[in-house]
Structure 1
Amino acid sequence: MKRLGALLFLVFVLSFNAIGQEKINWMTFEEASAATLETPKMILVDVYTDWCGWCKKMDKETFTDDKVIAYVNDHFFAVKLHAEKTDRKFTFKGKEYTEASMAKTMRVTSYPNFVVMDATMENITQLPGYRQPQPFIDGLEGIVQRFTK
């Protein structure tokens, strides 16, 4: 009976923590494009692949950090873009793209790679490679300060 009580308590605590935990509000490319027309905001595009171990490490460690979540959600519309996905098409600036062709258009050649776009959907810069939470925030803060003054 003690084990059942302990198990129920553990399930309750884990459920409570999961419910209270914020997440980055990931969008599709076209959702972010529409959102920035309504509320001008910079776009952060996480360009990734399924086989990229460092991409998975970013998802698991950096993108679950409370400070990263808050900073990204406050300053960006965040987009996940699969660099090898060719089955889903969308239109951007009058041209049709797949996620793979958009990654090529953005000149992404390594993963993970973070493309930062301004509110008019023009590429500003890239932050290539895995980054721990605080260095990731520091890199984004520098870009925001440089391009929003």
Structure 2
Amino acid sequence: MSTVASEETVGWVLRKQDFDALLTVLPVLKEQFKLFLQGTDVLCYLQERQQLNPDSAEKWISRATKNINVNKPVLPVSRIHFDISEHKGAPLGIWLGLMLDGIPEALVIGAGTAHSALSFSLLAGLFFSNYPEALSSSSGMRQQGMKFSTILLI
């Protein structure tokens, strides 16, 4: 974005670090900024202009508000893009690992149940050992903008 002045002009710059410092010493500015962050305009801006999904946008607003409450600097929105793009393949990698782990597991269970009954403790153990992996990969996929139906299908 650029501007052109048609007459002699004085410009002021408020750096982010200075704004963060002002938030710690001016309680009125702090409260007004928190109200501004919780408005619909910020949420729309984050979704439309910054291309964040609704969950990530709300997460950023929540984190920014918490940081303001404890006098910490507000992290830039670009940090969310960096965090997501830095780990782009991780959720699918976890899912692939879960599948590669599950195939031999299913074969052993299938072979074992051919001769005896399937125990409830075995099923519970398998569920509780695999559930955290599935949950972590699905939440990562959601953060990266995958549709819920696609994640459920996977």
Shorter-chain TM-score range: under 0.3
- Structure ranking higher in helix proportion: 2
Higher strand share: 1
Larger of the two Rg values belongs to structure: 2
Per chain length, whose mean CA-contact separation is higher, i.e. which structure has more relative contact order (CA < 8 Å, sep 6+)? 1
